[in-house]
């Protein structure tokens, strides 16, 4: 095949040119996004039912929903949390579940259950979670005059949102902070009592006048006309003219019985921007759109908004494209600086500059063709796939180095050009192919990781595999052809080695000679160095993600008191004035957010405050200042400061407790006494500092005590009393008026006051008398659950432990015994158990990788012992990587783990080539008549001579291609630094030890044969 292709240079060159052109075209067509389009197997169901207590919401809505959804195929876990006004259900599915079908099934089951829900409750919202749902940017709209907020809300909802959605590439535009106008009816109770008219009479009159007759038509001969019946409501004055019948037989206009006005509906949540009420708009992109082109179009549209709508201020915040730009910039840095360093290494070792140039061409050609395959396989350019390419850049040149070095050696031996190419390739095709396969064999099994990590690493594994595969084709076909075309000069004129390399080669031979005189000593030293990893590993801290510069903070606040949303806003605005001194941007979600895609649960007395600073030092200083202010001003509030997550980190941030104990009464009955007994038993808990879960929290409430006997005595109707309660304490909707350029809610409103004053309102008895409600209803202060938590097995209360708690692994038996002593059953959940599952999965993947390595090497060597010899170099690479990571005070995180995988795949490359060459030379020398010992010594010596240059060049080019990451600022470089330290440490320190370990080990296992 090689002979055939080398004889047809035009066909081969044109084929690669076409592939490169297609790759450049594909590069402009590839989707560009932050993350791969991964369907996370989670669905969130949100229930909103204002003025409903947590207990009532759990009993009437959440529990029936939870029980109905539990039987969905593929469901792994279901959890719910009920709070006042709203509830939320989290459904987690197995990762092989078809989420399209699961989403349809969830909605169908909700629809079948909807007949049991209260008629005035909105339909529960269902949301699927996808990595492309992460907002790429936020648009802040602030009215220049706060009195125009309702008008600006209408503008945003009806115009700005639609204009944004019309941009090509945008999928969802989500809004928080909208305010709407409703029609409020405030009855004149003294007049109603005098005329013996109730609020229910007013409601029935309005509802009757607002009837929708649906589709009517009339036939007139051969013509048919549709008939529309109008209620005649063109203004509030028209509503006021509605006649309300009285008991005397007369009709009174509604305007004389009640005050009718259009008011801004008090929202259950607010969005604040820089301390002012605003509208927050999150913008999500389509999976196939190019993010780096979409955001500039959004910026241009916002500039047009500023001209078209001068009554509002516009600002873009939390732009996530900087993450993508960082990834792209890192790739460019690796290409440019790393490529330059790699080429310099080639020139440093190779006296033939043309050969160096041909080898360096492998990088751009392989990358361009890789983009074409990206397009064919439907892979986008994202942080994950780009990091795979960045990992492979230094390795792309390795195959060409080995192939061209082998061809050059054959030319130096006097062989013809075509024969040199054929023979040179044939001698290294097995080790080069084996090197690529071993790298892929180590990396590819990572896609078996459970959960989101396995889905995300898929793009990285595919990117690395494709780029290495393409570089292999370029090295075996294009590089020899270009060598034949441009280096067809006489063998004697080829300058193979530089003085620098000859100096290193001489030193290498002196080192090997010195070591072979002390074989046992250096073999023992090398083995002890490999075992050093067991000492280093526990010394290095474990982290989730690398340390990057943090300039943004998110503060989660629970005021721990049943305050109104307006009071919540005032408190957050006070905090905002504290933050304004140093923060460059501030946002807050106060109360219940309106975002459709918000999966977080937040109640009226809670708030989330976000702020960004110029640098990390200012952020840390402001964090301390804000904490001190909150502790001093609101000592009863609970708050949590955390680094604001971006689109990358929020996927890996675990919201679940580290170790959670879910307690349920053994008899199945929940009451206040059981929960109080649980609190009292906490001092005897077997582990220190357990955190009480949400299900134990309570908040003040008012209990109304109704005297049923007295009501029956005076003839007070229960339904009438219920209507009074709804009017005084709740939300009393009348009807929906589809006029005034949209639908408006019409409801009763009343003056708010102290409960004693409200209970003095009158209620009509069956005898026509009016008595105060207080005559039949008393009240007392009480407490009610603030949250109700539940899972598949029903309600539970939780305790949690953090990762610093001692002896967690041995605590389960003690906790179960403690729970049984106090009348509870206990279940366990949390990230600790997910970590155990991931650890077991990683161990299995590691075994699979080792088996694949052994299988590939055994096939190559036709030997069962020599693969073990090669694999013994893995501990050396791991120890070198750990040593440099320890010296740099790094941590074992996700990126460092990827670096270890790369080291495992590359550290065996030189041993593979060296063992292959020793085997070939040993057979050659023994066939020429040498003794076994002489042939072995000469084969080891000559194999080192042949393998040293490719070893040094491949190791240095791979390492130096990553060096620019250490000296370039930005989040992209910060994310990759742990990986770079691991790779450089493994390929320099580890490779240094393998240079003599392989000859020594080969000597010991073969000398007696």
| Pairwise CA distance, residues 777 & 770, whole Å | 15
Percentage of residues in the chain with pLDDT exceeding 70?
A: 86
State the pLDDT at residue 928: 85
């090398």: which residue's tokens? Answer: 526
Of 315, 324, 296, 322, nearest to 138 by C-alpha is 315
| Pairwise CA distance, residues 71 & 67, whole Å | 8
Summarised one tens digit per residue, pLDDT across range 497-552 is 778 888 888 888 888 888 888 888 888 888 898 889 889 888 888 776 667 678 88
Q: Which two tokens stand for residue 74?
A: 């593929």
| Pairwise CA distance, residues 28 & 381, whole Å | 11
| Mean pLDDT, rounded, for 614-641 | 90
| Mean pLDDT, rounded, for 19-25 | 92
| Pairwise CA distance, residues 927 & 916, whole Å | 17
- Tell me the residue ranges of DSSP E strands in 766-814: 770-772, 777-785, 787-791, 794-801
Whole-number Cα distances in Å, 730 to 48, 603, 724, 725, 726: 15, 17, 9, 7, 5
Alpha helices in 961-990, H assignment, sequence order: 963-967, 971-985
Per-residue H/E/C for 866-892: HHHHHHCCHHHHHHHHHHHHHHCCCCE
Summarised one tens digit per residue, pLDDT across range 274-322 is 999 999 998 888 767 777 788 889 999 999 999 999 999 999 988 877 7
Summarised one tens digit per residue, pLDDT across range 40-62 is 788 889 888 877 888 889 989 99
CB 427 within 8 A of CB 367: no
The pair phi, psi for residue 817, each rounded to 5°, is -65, -45
| Mean pLDDT, rounded, for 222-228 | 67
Residue 821 has pLDDT above 50, yes or no: yes
Q: 63-72: string of b/e by CB count within 10 Å (b at 16+)?
A: bebbeebeeb
932-960 vs 991-1006: helix crossing angle, rounded to 10? 160
Of 596, 627, 636, 635, nearest to 609 by C-alpha is 627
Residue 777 has pLDDT above 60, yes or no: yes
- In the CATH scheme, what architecture does the domain 1-30+323-488+504-545+836-1007 have? Up-down Bundle (1.20)
Residue 34 has pLDDT above 90, yes or no: no
| Pairwise CA distance, residues 799 & 661, whole Å | 5
Q: Which two tokens stand for residue 568?
A: 């919540």
């594994």: which residue's tokens? Answer: 461
The pair phi, psi for residue 877, each rounded to 5°, is -65, -40
3-state secondary structure of 488: coil
| Pairwise CA distance, residues 22 & 706, whole Å | 80
CA angle 724, 727, 733 (to 5 degrees): 125
Whole-number Cα distances in Å, 1001 to 405, 874, 947: 26, 14, 16
pLDDT category at 740 given cuts 50, 70, 90 is: very low
CATH 1.20.1640.10 domain extents, the chain: 1-30+323-488+504-545+836-1007
- Tell me the residue ranges of DSSP E strands in 531-583: 552-558
- Specify the CATH number of the domain 182-264+700-785: 3.30.2090.10
Residue 178 has pLDDT above 60, yes or no: yes
Summarised one tens digit per residue, pLDDT across range 864-904 is 888 888 888 888 888 998 999 888 888 887 778 777 877 87
The pair phi, psi for residue 602, each rounded to 5°, is -145, 135
State the pLDDT at residue 265: 75
More confident residue, 669 or 535: 535
| Mean pLDDT, rounded, for 689-712 | 80
State the pLDDT at residue 302: 93
| Mean pLDDT, rounded, for 617-638 | 91
Summarised one tens digit per residue, pLDDT across range 117-173 is 888 788 898 888 766 667 888 999 999 988 888 889 989 988 999 999 888 888 888
Around Cβ 595, how many Cβ atoms within 10 Å?
A: 20
Residue 599 has pLDDT above 60, yes or no: no
Q: Which two tokens stand for residue 341?
A: 């360093």
Output the CA torsion 994→1000→1004→1009 (10° steps): 100
- Specify the CATH number of the domain 36-130: 3.30.70.1430
């050659």: which residue's tokens? Answer: 924
Percentage of residues in the chain with pLDDT exceeding 90?
A: 13
DSSP code for 335? I
| Pairwise CA distance, residues 774 & 760, whole Å | 6
CATH 3.30.2090.10 domain extents, the chain: 182-264+700-785
State the pLDDT at residue 542: 74
The pair phi, psi for residue 935, each rounded to 5°, is -65, -40
Residues in CB range of 215: below 8 A, 6 or more apart: 226
Of 398, 325, 338, nearest to 366 by C-alpha is 398
DSSP code for 232? -
More confident residue, 569 or 842: 569
- Assign residue 601 a region (left: φ > 0; alpha: ψ between -120 and 50; beta: otherwise): beta
Residues in CB range of 332: below 8 A, 6 or more apart: none
Provide the mean pLDDT of the chain. Answer: 81
Highest mean pLDDT (candidates 555-569, 703-717, 736-750):
555-569
Residue 456 has pLDDT above 70, yes or no: no
Around Cβ 162, how many Cβ atoms within 10 Å?
A: 11
Highest mean pLDDT (candidates 248-252, 741-745, 839-843, 950-954):
248-252
Taking the alpha carbons at both ends of the chain, their separation in whole angstroms is 37
Identify the burial level of 847 via C-beta atoms within 10 angstroms of its C-beta, where 0-12 means exposed, 13-18 middle and 19 or more buried. Answer: exposed
Highest mean pLDDT (candidates 13-27, 343-357, 993-1007):
13-27
CB 46 within 8 A of CB 88: yes
Of 853, 850, 863, 890, nearest to 984 by C-alpha is 890
CATH 3.30.70.1430 domain extents, the chain: 36-130
- pTM strictly above 0.85: no
């Amino acid at each position: 095949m090689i002979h055939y292709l080398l004889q047809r240079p035009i066909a081969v060159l044109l084929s690669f040119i076409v592939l490169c052109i297609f790759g450049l075209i594909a590069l402009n067509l590839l989707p560009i996004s932050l993350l791969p389009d991964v369907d996370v197997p989670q669905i969130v169901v949100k229930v909103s039912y204002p003025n409903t207590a947590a207990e009532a919401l759990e009993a009437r809505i959440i529990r029936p929903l939870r029980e109905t959804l539990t039987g969905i195929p593929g469901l792994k876990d279901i959890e719910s949390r009920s709070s006042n006004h709203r509830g939320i259900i989290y459904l987690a599915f197995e990762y092989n579940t078809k989420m399209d079908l699961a989403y349809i099934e969830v909605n169908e089951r909700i629809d079948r259950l909807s007949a049991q829900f209260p008629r005035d409750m909105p339909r529960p919202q269902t949301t699927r979670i996808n990595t492309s749902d992460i907002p790429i940017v936020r648009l802040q709209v602030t009215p220049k005059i706060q009195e125009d907020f309702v008008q600006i809300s209408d503008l945003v909802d009806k115009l700005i949102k639609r204009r944004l959605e019309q941009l090509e590439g945008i999928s969802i535009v989500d809004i928080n902070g909208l305010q709407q106008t409703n029609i409020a009816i405030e009855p004149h109770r003294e007049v109603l009592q005098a005329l013996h008219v109730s609020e229910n009479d007013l409601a029935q009159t309005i509802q009757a006048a607002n009837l929708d007759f649906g589709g009517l038509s009339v036939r007139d001969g051969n013509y048919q006309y549709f008939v529309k019946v109008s209620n005649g409501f063109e203004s509030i004055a028209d509503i006021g003219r509605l006649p309300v019948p009285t008991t005397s037989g007369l009709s009174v206009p509604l305007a004389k019985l009640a005050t009718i006005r259009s008011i801004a509906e008090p929202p259950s949540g607010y969005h604040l921007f820089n301390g002012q009420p605003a509208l927050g708009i999150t913008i999500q992109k389509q999976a196939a759109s190019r993010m780096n082109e979409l955001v500039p179009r959004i910026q241009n549209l916002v500039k047009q908004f500023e001209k078209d709508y001068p009554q509002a201020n516009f600002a873009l915040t939390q732009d996530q494209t900087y993450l993508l730009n960082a990834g792209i910039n890192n790739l460019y840095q690796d290409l440019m600086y790393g490529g330059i360093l790699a080429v310099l290494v080639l020139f440093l070792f190779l006296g033939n500059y043309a050969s160096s140039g041909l080898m360096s061409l492998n990088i751009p050609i392989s990358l361009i063709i890789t983009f074409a395959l990206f397009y064919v396989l439907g892979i986008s350019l994202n942080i994950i796939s780009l990091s795979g390419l960045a990992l492979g850049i230094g390795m792309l040149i390795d195959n060409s180095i080995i192939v061209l070095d082998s061809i050059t050696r054959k030319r130096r031996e006097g062989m013809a050009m075509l024969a040199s190419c054929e023979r040179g390739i044939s001698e290294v095709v097995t080790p080069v192919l084996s090197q690529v396969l071993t790298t892929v064999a180590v990396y590819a099994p990572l896609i078996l990781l459970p959960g989101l990590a396995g889905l995300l690493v898929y793009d990285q594994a595919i990117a690395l595999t494709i780029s290495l595969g393409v570089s292999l084709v370029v090295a075996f076909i294009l590089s020899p052809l270009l060598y034949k075309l441009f280096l067809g000069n006489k063998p004697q004129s080829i300058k193979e080695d530089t003085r620098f390399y000859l100096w290193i080669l001489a030193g290498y031979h002196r080192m090997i000679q010195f070591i072979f005189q002390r074989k046992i000593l250096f073999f023992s030293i090398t083995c002890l160095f490999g075992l050093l990893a067991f000492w280093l590993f526990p010394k290095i801290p474990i982290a989730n993600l690398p340390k990057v510069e943090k300039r943004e903070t998110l503060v989660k606040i629970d005021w721990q008191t049943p305050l109104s949303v307006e009071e919540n806003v005032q408190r957050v605005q006070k905090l905002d004035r504290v933050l304004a001194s140093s923060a460059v941007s501030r946002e807050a979600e106060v109360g219940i957010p309106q975002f459709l895609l918000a999966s977080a649960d937040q109640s009226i007395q809670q708030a989330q405050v976000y702020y960004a600073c110029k640098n990390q030092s200012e952020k840390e200083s402001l964090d301390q200042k804000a904490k001190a202010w909150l502790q001093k001003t609101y000592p009863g509030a609970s708050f949590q400061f955390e680094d604001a997550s971006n689109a990358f980190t929020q996927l890996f941030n675990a919201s679940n407790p580290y170790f959670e104990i879910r307690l349920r009464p053994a008899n199945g009955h929940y009451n206040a006494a059981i929960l109080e007994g649980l609190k009292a038993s906490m001092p005897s808990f077997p582990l220190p500092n357990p955190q009480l879960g949400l299900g134990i929290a309570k908040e003040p409430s008012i209990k109304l005590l109704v005297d049923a006997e007295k009501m029956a005595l005076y003839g007070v109707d229960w339904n009438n009393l219920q209507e009074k309660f709804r009017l005084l304490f709740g939300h009393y909707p009348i009807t929906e008026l589809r006029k005034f350029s949209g639908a408006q809610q019409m409801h009763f409103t009343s003056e708010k006051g102290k409960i004693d004053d409200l209970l003095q309102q009158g209620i009509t008895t069956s005898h026509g008398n009016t008595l105060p409600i207080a005559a039949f209803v008393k009240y007392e202060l009480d407490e009610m659950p603030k949250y109700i938590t539940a899972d598949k097995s029903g309600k539970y209360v939780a305790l949690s432990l953090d990762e610093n708690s001692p002896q967690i692994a041995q605590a389960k038996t003690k906790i179960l015994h403690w729970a049984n002593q106090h009348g509870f059953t206990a279940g366990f959940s949390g990230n600790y158990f997910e970590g155990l599952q991931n650890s077991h999965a990683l161990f299995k993947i590691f075994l699979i990788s080792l088996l694949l390595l052994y299988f590939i090497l055994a096939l190559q060597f036709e030997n069962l012992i020599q693969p073990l010899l090669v694999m013994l170099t893995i501990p050396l690479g791991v120890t070198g990587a750990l040593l440099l990571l320890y010296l740099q005070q790094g941590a074992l995180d996700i990126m460092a783990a990827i670096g270890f995988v790369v080291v495992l795949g590359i550290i065996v490359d030189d041993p593979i080539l060296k063992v292959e060459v020793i085997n070939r030379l040993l057979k050659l020398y023994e066939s020429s008549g040498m003794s076994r010992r002489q042939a072995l010594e000469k084969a080891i010596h000559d194999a080192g001579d042949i393998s040293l240059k490719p070893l040094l060049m491949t190791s240095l080019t791979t390492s130096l291609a990553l060096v620019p990451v250490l000296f370039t600022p930005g989040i992209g470089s910060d994310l990759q630094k742990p990986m770079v330290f691991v790779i450089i440490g493994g390929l320099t320190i580890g490779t240094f030890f393998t240079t003599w370990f392989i000859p020594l080990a080969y000597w010991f296992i073969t000398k007696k044969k």
